[in-house]
């Protein structure tokens, strides 16, 4: 059993508030991903968990026991760092064996060999055991660092941006491999990243942080489909969600939303949305539309708008189209093999049932 709990943890570094009253509890065995931009407090959260840093306020519990004051070596928690920190003068084998040799006599050399070789095979680095870290590629170094954390079979794994410094291609390959490392899948693992695709792909649950605060914790679907506020919606998705400041217009066939930047652009609402806006007591709001809900092909109940193409970025499985509806710049996704030109006039279709509505001051999701 390994349930990690943070209760009202706050951390100040001088005047900087790295963590602001963070509370959460992991589910035993889950792969929890902490997602957020630089400076969100993700690494601080990990360092407080393994004991490298003490909280200014609040407590940390492991399986119900208060470990806040425990030194790192008496918590059975292992952490890998963004910069692998492998010992260059030791072989890969010795690097991985190091944590098992820290207390003389704790493990026999036979046990050490067995553990190291098993884990090395699991991570496909067994051919490197007699080599030195300098002979390993970036992806291999990453796996050696990971292997070193795995040999002591900790109760909790803490992985700090393990894929950050690798080539894009290798990041995708290793991300796929993480799914298959059973040891990580069944042991409580807290994985930090700034890449939302890694988060959605790997997390049983995702914890979104920004500026020291915990914004939301939930499954990938919950985070993506029911973000609690605009900040969460913005972080999860590429390209980022379109944010259009709108006024509620109540004349005519029922409430609709008019863009403040481009008053000729009006988004219609379905009957369910209209009922909500009939009651809405404010005049303004922030409308969120994900690029995947804007395209050149008509879909059921879509709003049609006249647009002019600005830039087209054809990618792998989709193409990213930036267009202008009057003065409003909007991003949509289309076929990557579409032949479109700069300044071309097009009809843009917006799937209005998939729109998000945020309070323009608090940024909260109005529909939750």
Partner 1 sequence: MAEVILKNVNKTYLSQKEKVEAVIDLNMEIKDGELVALLGPSGCGKSSTLRMIAGLEEITSGDILFDGERVNELSSMERNIAMAFESYSLYPHMTVYKNIGFPLDVMKVDRAEKDKRIHEIASVFNLEQFLKKRPPELSGGQQQRVSLARALVREPHVFLLDEPISHSDAHLRFQMRNEIKKLHFQLEATMIYVTHDQIDALSMADRIAVMNVARLHQIGTRDELYDTPVNMFVAGFVGEPHINFLECETAKQGGEQVLHVRGSDNLDLKISKAKSAKINEKKLDKVWVGVRPQNVFVSREEGVVEVGGAVEFSEFIGEKAITTVQNGGAEFRMLTPTDVKYKKGEPIKGYIPDEAVLIFDPETEEAVY
Binding site for partner 1 (CB under 8 A): 37-38, 138, 167-170, 172-173, 176, 179, 194-197, 200-201, 220-221, 224, 234, 236-240, 290-292, 310-311, 313-318, 320, 322, 333, 336-337, 342
Least separation in angstroms between residue 319's CB and partner 1 is 9
Least separation in angstroms between residue 316's CB and partner 1 is 3
- Note the helical H segments in 152-296: 168-180, 182-186, 196-202, 220-225, 230-235, 271-279
> Judged by CB, which is closer to partner 1: 107, or 312?
312
Please state, in angstroms and as integers, the Cα–Cα distance from residue 346 to each residue in 305, 320, 322, 339, following that order.
8, 15, 12, 12
Least separation in angstroms between residue 220's CB and partner 1 is 5
Cis peptide preceding 163, ω within 30 of 0: no
> Judged by CB, which is closer to partner 1: 251, or 337?
337
Least separation in angstroms between residue 195's CB and partner 1 is 7
> Judged by CB, which is closer to partner 1: 38, or 74?
38
> Judged by CB, which is closer to partner 1: 126, or 222?
222
* Tokens matching residue 145: 């660092």
At 57 the three-state DSSP class reads strand
Least separation in angstroms between residue 210's CB and partner 1 is 12
CA distance 276 to 212: 33
> Judged by CB, which is closer to partner 1: 89, or 342?
342
Residue from 110, 200, 97 nearest 144 by CA: 97
Q: Please give the helix or strand (H or E) that residue 33 lies within, else none.
A: strand 31-35
Least separation in angstroms between residue 173's CB and partner 1 is 7
> Judged by CB, which is closer to partner 1: 51, or 291?
291
> Judged by CB, which is closer to partner 1: 248, or 294?
294
Measured at the CA of 350, the angle between CA 346 and CA 356, to 5 degrees, comes to 150
Least separation in angstroms between residue 37's CB and partner 1 is 6
Least separation in angstroms between residue 179's CB and partner 1 is 7
> Judged by CB, which is closer to partner 1: 32, or 256?
32
Give Cβ neighbours of residue 315 (< 8 Å, ≥ 6 apart): 336
Residue from 45, 17, 22, 20 nearest 33 by CA: 45
Least separation in angstroms between residue 204's CB and partner 1 is 12
CA distance 368 to 359: 11
* Residue tagged 């959460």 (tokens): 24
**Range 150-161 burial, b when 16+ CB lie within 10 A, else e:** bbbebbbbbbbb
Residue from 327, 246, 338, 247 nearest 289 by CA: 246
Least separation in angstroms between residue 326's CB and partner 1 is 19
> Judged by CB, which is closer to partner 1: 152, or 292?
292
Give Cβ neighbours of residue 243 (< 8 Å, ≥ 6 apart): 230, 234, 286, 287, 288, 358
DSSP one-letter string for 309-343: EEEEEE-SS-EEEEEEETTEEEEEEE-TT----TT
> Judged by CB, which is closer to partner 1: 39, or 254?
39
Compute how many other C-beta atoms are within 10 angstroms of the C-beta atom of residue 118.
Answer: 15
């Amino acid at each position: 059993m390994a349930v990690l709990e943070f209760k009202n943890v706050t951390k100040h570094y001088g005047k900087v508030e790295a963590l602001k009253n963070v509370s959460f509890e992991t589910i035993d065995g889950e792969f929890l991903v902490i997602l957020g931009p630089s400076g969100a407090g993700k690494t601080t959260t990990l360092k407080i968990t393994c004991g490298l840093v003490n909280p200014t306020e609040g407590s940390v519990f492991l399986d119900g026991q208060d470990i806040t004051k425990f030194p790192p070596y008496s918590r059975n928690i292992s952490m890998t760092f963004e910069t692998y920190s492998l010992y260059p003068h030791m072989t890969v084998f010795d690097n991985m064996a190091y944590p098992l040799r820290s207390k003389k006599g704790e493990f026999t050399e036979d046990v050490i060999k067995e553990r190291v070789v098993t884990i090395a095979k699991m991570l496909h680095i067994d051919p490197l055991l007699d080599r030195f870290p300098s002979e390993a590629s970036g992806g291999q170094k990453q796996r050696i660092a990971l292997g070193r954390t795995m040999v002591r079979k900790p109760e909790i794994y803490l992985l700090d941006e393990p894929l950050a410094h690798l080539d894009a291609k290798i990041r995708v390959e290793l991300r796929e491999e993480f799914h298959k490392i059973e040891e990580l899948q069944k042991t409580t693992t807290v994985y930090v990243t700034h890449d939302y695709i890694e988060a959605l792909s790997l997390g049983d649950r995702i914890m979104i942080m920004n500026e020291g605060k915990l914004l939301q914790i939930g499954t990938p679907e919950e985070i993506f489909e029911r973000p609690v506020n605009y900040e969460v919606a913005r972080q999860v998705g590429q390209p980022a969600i379109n944010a259009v400041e709108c006024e509620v217009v109540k004349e005519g066939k029922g409430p609709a939303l008019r863009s403040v930047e481009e008053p000729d652009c009006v988004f219609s609402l379905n009957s369910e949305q209209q009922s909500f806006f009939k009651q809405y007591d404010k005049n303004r709001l922030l409308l969120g539309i994900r690029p995947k809900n804007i395209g050149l092909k008509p879909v059921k109940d879509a709003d049609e708008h006249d647009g002019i193409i600005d830039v087209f970025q054809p990618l792998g499985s989709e193409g990213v189209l930036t267009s202008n509806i009057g003065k409003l710049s909007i991003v949509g996704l289309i076929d990557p093999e579409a032949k479109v030109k700069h300044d071309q006039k097009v009809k843009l279709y917006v799937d209005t049932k998939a729109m998000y509505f945020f309070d323009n001051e608090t940024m909260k999701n109005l529909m939750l």
